[in-house]
Amino acid sequence: MLSEQVYLRLREAIMRGEHAPGDALKPQDLARAQGVSLAVVREALVRLVGEGLADRLPNRGFAVPEFTDRRWQEIAEARRTIEPAMLRMSIERGDLDWEARVRAAHHRLARTPPFTPRDGDYYSEAWSEAHRSFHRTLLEGCANHALLETFDRLWTASELARRLSARRNPHRDGAEEHRRLEESALSRDADTAAEVLTRHLSLTAEALAGQED
């Protein structure tokens, strides 16, 4: 479907930083560049707005969200509130199959290089997907579809800011944070797991806030 193809191309372009925060997303220019109708581009942009990857501005069209928008810290607050509770539920309800999926997802994440020459200072596509999969798998044991849908929306809305802000940071050991998450979850230590996840999310939020200074 043409609208799906345009949506995916625009989404990838925004995620890869081809459109910087605050850049206008002009439907006419995008339609011309992609050789499609204005209606197709508008449909794609509306979908991106729904995901938090674009803003619809009154009388000004569309734009990539600004980092200075409070939304990023509000999303981080929402994630710190919801995800540790979901993780506790997963630890309580998760079965042996859940444990195996968590271990496999962490193994994939740990073995995927976060940076490649092609991606420069930005996290690679492969690592970003492995990262998302690990976090979601940790929470899937909660077996609550409404909560998992909320996680999916919050993750997508925060992914743009994380990808464009999370440069190489020699002072943060993300691999160790993920290892501790896996270890505490699989040992069924809900208090430690929730604490580690909250700290993990807080460090990311702090890094994003630092981009506004």
Provide the CATH number for the domain around residue 23. Answer: 1.10.10.10
Residues 42, 89 share a domain: no
Model confidence at 120, in pLDDT bands (50, 70, 90)?
low
In a domain, 152, yes or no: yes
Over residues 53-100, the pLDDT tens digits come to 899 988 778 999 876 657 778 888 999 999 999 999 999 999 999 999
Beta carbons within 8 Å of 190's beta carbon, 6+ residues apart: 87, 88, 91, 92
Residues 143, 45 share a domain: no
Q: Given 47, 64, 81, which residue is the final one in a domain?
A: 64
Number of Cβ atoms within 10 Å of the Cβ of 9 = 15
Residues 148, 56 share a domain: no
pTM for this model (two decimals): 0.81
Place of tokens 């539920």: 89
pLDDT at 16 (0 to 100): 79
Total domains in the chain come to 2
Range of the domain at 16: 2-64
